[in-house]
Amino acid sequence: MKRNLKKYLSLGLAAVMAASLITGCGVATANGDTSATAATSSASTAASSDATATSTAASGDAAAATSTAATSGDTVKIGVYEPASGDNGAGGKQEMLGMQYANSKTPTVDIGGKTYNVELVFADNQSSTDKAVSAASTLVSSGVSVVLGSYGSGVSIAAQETFANAGIPAIGVTCTNPQVTEGNTNYFRICFLDPFQGTILANFAVDNFKAKTAYCLAKLGDDYSVGLCNYFQKAFEALGGTVVFETFPEGNSDFTSYITNAKNANADVIFSPVSTEAAALIIEQASSQGVTVPLMAGDTWDSNVITEAATGKNIDIYVTTFYQEGGNKDFDEGLKAYIDGDATALQNNGGNDMIAAVSAMGYDAYYVALEALKNAGSTDPKAVNDALWKTTYDGVSGHIEFDQTNGDAVRDTAYVKKANTETGTWDFVAEQKAK
Amino acid sequence: MDWSVVLPYILSGISVGGQYALIAIGYTMVYGILRLINFAHGDVFMVAGLMMIYFSASMPMYYSIPLMIIFTVLLGYAIERAAYKPLRTAPRMSIMISAIGVSYLLENLALYVTGGLNQNYPGIPWISDSITIGGAVTKRVTIITPILTIVLVVALILLLKHTKFGMAMRAVSRDFDTAQLMGIDIDRVISVTFIIGSFLAAIGSLLYFTNYTGVVPTSGAMPGLKAFVAAVFGGIGSIPGAVVGAFIIGICENLIKGLDSVLMVNGITSQQFGFATFSDAFTFVLLIVILILKPTGLFGEKQTDKV
Amino acid sequence: MVAKVSNKQGASPKSFQNKLERHDRKTQIVADLIVIVICLAVLFLLDSVLDSSSMIFVVLKKTAVYAVVAVSMNLLNGFTGLFSLGQAGFMLIGAYTYGILMIPSGDRASVYQYFDGGIVKFSLQEVFAGIFGGNAGVGIFFGVLIALILAGVFAALFAFLIGLPVLRLKGDYLAIATLGFAEIIRALFQWNTIGGLTNGSNMLRKFPSFDSIVAGWAAGSPFVAAHIPFFSTLLPMIIAAICISLIVMLIHSSYGRSFKAIRDDEVAAEAMGINLAKHKMLAFCTSSFFAGIGGAMLAMFQTTIQANAFKSSMTYEILLIVVIGGIGSVTGSILGAFLFVAASEWWLRFLDTEMVFADAGTKTGFVIFAVAIVALLAALVIVKNRGKEKKDFRRIAIIAAAVAFIVIAALINYLVSPSMNVPLLRSGFRLVVFSLIIMIIVLFYRRGIMGSRELNWDSVTAFFMKRRNADKEGGEKA
């Protein structure tokens, strides 16, 4: 009797799971549209062999769900290749926020006379170059026409060949390392490059702080911070200064020794363009160690994580970035409303509605992609790739057009901002043009 | 040679060493009894930090601290019950995989819940204030940590040496099977070990995150690993050894970070060698040197190999 | 077992089966070839039927890479009993050797941007192309072959140096020491001072990858160009097959038996005259050799390598694959590699996407199913433990009921809320589910999927013979 009861219960469980699968698939096809990367038969079969209860139910019926902003009709898919976890997860989420906001504002596009729904397909590259290829492959196999991303030059470089082999163009949003677009014809970029940014920062340091010695602190193994420090070093030494360049290992929390090193070197400025979680620690420890010299960084520090860490502390922070809040009132208000209206968006933005420059760039990237699709006249990735070379767009971050050698945006302005330690916001300092 | 240049690094080293010590004790106690490297310990430490952030966001400090400690202890107990107890009779590798699996699960759960975003640890009044010692500026928690560590270690050693239960714990770590035959309740001993270990991890996380105020899901991995190395370095199973090992590792780590700077300030070298790259790796170099010279660690006892 | 002696000569299915059962070597080889042809046909079919960008090809390539590393780790941990956590370090050495030697000299300046083009100024495929009179195809072939072998050799060399002090240690100390060496190697390769060789913190790229090699063939042959996924998946599989065959041959040799003896009882093995130090070093170096080749294959798969990615978490992933597949089973490692890669990279990806219910009807349907499943599971747990002692049973029943109650309450709360988002589905959920699955496998399938069994002709024929004999006996009884 006991064994029979167990058998019946197990059979009942299996039957329920199977039933949910069938209905799930049924509902999906009835709607005529399947959700983003889901609802392939492989996903359902995997779901049935899944042992955990709620996730099985979720996955079985996830096939019944449809992704946001998709209704019946023709769809064009835009891949979003961003980190949602790992060191760059915070920045990646804020960049995606801009794209999601743009998608909610403009969910359709007219290509070759027909109206298409624009669907964002998302793949998380986990900020790690060894997960890059699989994340990129997921996008490729979803049939996207163009990819936006990534935040983080390393993962962009790592995925470039995968996109190239599939013939899919990619638009880098805030990846500033030159190697992303170098030597290939399928990666484009709408932001400025590190050599430019490094020069601007070096000039700013010398002009405003009369800096003779700079202490550069980069994260070991992170090509973005090491690369930018290299360019800063070149520019700073060209102006006659000396640079002490050190790296800290990943996962390091104790920066007090590095700050002591900076003091010993009599640094006039500390330059540390690292990702936000390390940056928050550096700021906090620098202030409690009584650092008096200014801290400088690149675009990764333009985030409310930094302003939160700096609030109430006696520290000067200067960053170069792509966009200054207040540059475009409609965009600012619209994005703030979008963030405040959605709990997940609010959490992804760090808990408040301060606009990160990467969100503005993500917003512009979406529209550049739409422009390219319109110019291409079709959703074929090759056509979009060819059309991108000639695409221009005036976005919230300025005029965007691509140079014909690498596909880099022709940019000559960077905004310098200072963290206001009392109000917890950014103060606009200067608009630096290339000399 | 200007020795005062070295002082700030030693201070940093003592501070971080004390924090490693609190975590290392948890590792060494569990290993002594179960012969298990509890990979999940570092992540319990990280979860304690996250709990504190969430609790203090909605409750005043004098509620959130005890609540955090209670929940961390419960977490440690639950992990032992769910993931280690069923595998006590399984081959050694299985239980180690289970520990890695729990660590993986905790990290991914934290990632999922926090969204991977850096969380700022609340400032605990008084202990997070800045003070000046001998020209070096640091936080008050830097001084409190070693003192608190030593107090807790003394209390723990008293517990082990002078109570009946402590004797039971020592017996189990000496000989697991015979202790059972002698009528000692193994389950209780193991549970209490994990409870003490988690308690120390909770206190450790309080001090650690007050000093380094950012919490991300991977915050516990490196300190956990270094704490374990400290425990092995000092002699696995020996609590004073773990503490001494932790301090030595903390100080050496920071001296390596400052080596280039110290050498240059004293005019010994004129260019940088990038020694700071090896600050993490040096911990392992120390470990390997000790294991080769004295395989059972600094204070470890020689294990006789029964044939 | 009684083998039916057949009077028929030549190839008939019955005599073929008999020969298999009698472990006739020649028949086994023929059977192997048949299976290989079938596998190739299946792969070809997949290529023709599925879109060339389908995830299955990516998964199969990565499986091949991880399978090699998993089997090499199994050789060390499962067959010799040496618990080592240093695989990531050896993979790193192998990957970097391959990368450093194979970047075309024309691309070196851009890859080694901050180091003035780097120290190494040649590349193997160009050297060989030069030797064979400018033939690029031959150049690539020999270049890749020699680079892979050198990758393994350098890894084995480092293993030898590391093994000298470390292999004396026992059990967990060995694990931590090898883990430490892996971290030291990683820090070394990121050291800026030797950046001329390793490119420091920056990535190595532009070396030949699986896709680029096949693209090179495709340029010359329209057949290849029409079946690129087939060939680009075939290439890593061939390399993996060769490596794994070599390891299996080693395991079946007298060395393999010595390894197993060491695993079972070191002291007894020594008493039997097995030179512990020599055999341990042999196992360690061989395992590292293949881990190095695995690292080079990973480089060919990823198209870029960065030292930072070869963390201890990569070793843990390989360890999980080995344990899930079964410690001491080569087939288990291969199977485990496939399941691990497929589950984490492909099957569970949808859990990361936020999805919305189409209408209230589906939402209610979903909640009902979820409640039903939770209730059934709780009931199953309670019924399963009915036989235990009263005290234990009560505790389990209360916990199961409480958990079920909380989950069902949450589900009902969700039902009445206006949100149309599928609950829980958010980025990061995939990894949570994946970790839960791993915990379940580790807790309930302790021996892994295959235990220490292998899938070879002996076990297959034994399985079918057992079934046949059972049927016969059942038939006789009836």
In the structure, what pLDDT confidence band is assigned to residue C298 with cuts at 50, 70 and 90?
very high
Nearest to A221 among C190, C346, C349 (CB): C190
Q: Is B299 domain-assigned? A: no
Percent over 90 (pLDDT), chain C: 28
What is the model's pLDDT at position A170? 93
- Closest CA in chain B for residue A278: B214
CB atoms within 10 A of CB C298: 26
The amino acid present at C125, given as its one-letter code, is Q
Write out chain A residues lying below 8 Å of B9, CB-based. Answer: 257, 260
What is the model's pLDDT at position A410? 86
Cross-strand bridge partners of residue A122 = A80
- Closest CA in chain B for residue C266: B307
The amino acid present at A368, given as its one-letter code, is V
Chain A (249-268) residues lying within 8 Å, Cβ to Cβ, of chain C: 249-250
Give the model confidence (pLDDT) of B244-296 as tens digits.
999 999 999 999 888 888 888 777 777 777 788 888 888 889 888 888 888 78
The CATH fold of domain A194-321+415-433: Rossmann fold (3.40.50)
Nearest-CA distance from C205 to chain A in Å? 8
Give the model confidence (pLDDT) of A269-296 as tens digits.
999 999 888 898 899 888 888 889 999 9
The amino acid present at B221, given as its one-letter code, is A
* A172/A156 Cα distance (integer angstroms): 8
Helix, strand, coil abundance in chain A, percent, nearest 5: 45, 20, 35
What is the model's pLDDT at position A5? 61
For the residues C83-94, what does the mean pLDDT come to? 94
pLDDT surpasses 90 at C242: yes
Partner-chain contact B223 A253, CB within 8 Å: yes
* A118/A136 Cα distance (integer angstroms): 19
Nearest-CA distance from C175 to chain A in Å? 21
Instruction: Tell which of B45, B211, B257 to mutate to test the A interface (max A CBs under 10 Å).
Output: B257
Lowest model confidence (mean pLDDT) among A4-8, A64-68, A116-120, C339-343: A64-68
The amino acid present at B85, given as its one-letter code, is K
- Closest CA in chain C for residue B230: C176
Nearest to B111 among A85, A248, A253 (CB): A85
Could you tell me which chains touch chain A, where touching means 3 or more CB pairs under 8 A? B, C
What is the model's pLDDT at position C199? 87
DSSP string, A130-172: HHHHHHHHHHHHTT-SEEEE-SSHHHHHHHHHHHHHTT--EEE
Cα dihedral C132, C133, C138, C144 in deg (nearest 10): 70
Domains in chain B, number: 1
Nearest-CA distance from A228 to chain B in Å? 18
Partner-chain contact A249 B120, CB within 8 Å: no
Cross-strand bridge partners of residue A427 = A418
Write out chain C residues lying below 8 Å of A19, CB-based. Answer: 369
The amino acid present at A146, given as its one-letter code, is V
Q: Tell whether A59 lies on the interface with C, counting CB pairs under 8 A.
A: yes
* A410/A355 Cα distance (integer angstroms): 24
Write out chain C residues lying below 8 Å of A55, CB-based. Answer: 351, 424, 429, 433, 436
In the structure, what pLDDT confidence band is assigned to residue C338 with cuts at 50, 70 and 90?
very high
- Return all residues near C180 (Cβ < 8 A) that are at least 6 apart: B229, B283, B284, B285, B287, B288
DSSP string, C136-149: HHHHHHHHHHHHHH
CATH 1.10.10.10 fits A75-192+328-402, yes or no: no
In the structure, what pLDDT confidence band is assigned to residue A58 with cuts at 50, 70 and 90?
very low
pLDDT surpasses 90 at C398: no
Give the model confidence (pLDDT) of B211-225 as tens digits.
888 888 888 888 888
Q: Tell whether A245 lies on the interface with B, counting CB pairs under 8 A.
A: yes
pLDDT surpasses 70 at A79: yes
Phi, psi (deg, nearest 5) at residue B133: -130, 120
pLDDT surpasses 80 at A112: yes
Partner-chain contact C352 A122, CB within 8 Å: yes
Name the average pLDDT for chain B: 85
Partner-chain contact C171 B109, CB within 8 Å: no
Q: Nearest CA to C450 among C330, C277, C296, C297?
A: C330
Nearest to A260 among B9, B213, B221 (CB): B9
Give the model confidence (pLDDT) of B149-200 as tens digits.
889 889 988 988 899 888 898 888 888 888 889 888 888 899 999 999 999 9
Which SS3 state, helix, strand or coil, does residue A111 take?
strand
What is the model's pLDDT at position A59? 35
In chain B, what's the furthest Cα-to-Cα distance?
Answer: 67
Q: Is B306 domain-assigned? A: no
Which domain, by its residues, includes B190? 3-293
Cross-strand bridge partners of residue A213 = A242
ipTM score:
0.87
Partner-chain contact C190 A220, CB within 8 Å: yes
Nearest to A251 among B139, B218, B262 (CB): B218
Partner-chain contact C435 B116, CB within 8 Å: no
Q: Tell whether C183 lies on the interface with A, counting CB pairs under 8 A.
A: no
What is the model's pLDDT at position A57? 34
pLDDT surpasses 80 at C475: no
Which SS3 state, helix, strand or coil, does residue A330 take?
helix
Lowest model confidence (mean pLDDT) among A252-261, B70-79, B134-143, B176-185: B134-143
Cα atoms found within 13 Å of the Cα of residue A156, Cβ hemisphere only: 32
- Closest CA in chain B for residue C435: B105
Give CA separation, C332 vs B179, B241, C347, in Å: 38, 41, 20
Q: Nearest CA to A157 among C302, B210, C159, B188?
A: C302
Nearest to C192 among B116, B277, B305 (CB): B277
Q: Any idea which residue has 């062999």 for tokens?
A: A49
- Closest CA in chain A for residue C106: A183
* A205/A359 Cα distance (integer angstroms): 27
pTM of the model: 0.85
- Helices A256-264 & B7-34, crossing angle to 10 degrees? 160
What is the model's pLDDT at position A16? 59
Partner-chain contact A37 C301, CB within 8 Å: no
Chain C (116-155) residues lying within 8 Å, Cβ to Cβ, of chain A: none
Q: Nearest CA to C168 among A142, B288, A367, A115?
A: B288
What is the model's pLDDT at position B307? 58
Partner-chain contact A52 C110, CB within 8 Å: no
For the residues B43-47, what does the mean pLDDT come to? 93
Size of interface A-C (CB pairs under 8 A): 227
* Residue bearing the bigger pLDDT, A51 or C236: C236
Q: Is B235 domain-assigned? A: yes
* C279/C157 Cα distance (integer angstroms): 16
In the structure, what pLDDT confidence band is assigned to residue A8 with cuts at 50, 70 and 90?
low
Locate the domains of chain A by residue range. Answer: 2-62, 75-192+328-402, 194-321+415-433
Q: Is B298 domain-assigned? A: no
Write out chain C residues lying below 8 Å of A67, CB-based. Answer: 353-356
* C81/C340 Cα distance (integer angstroms): 23
Nearest-CA distance from A346 to chain B in Å? 12
Q: Which two tokens stand for residue A151?
A: 């935040």
Q: Tell whether B292 lies on the interface with C, counting CB pairs under 8 A.
A: yes
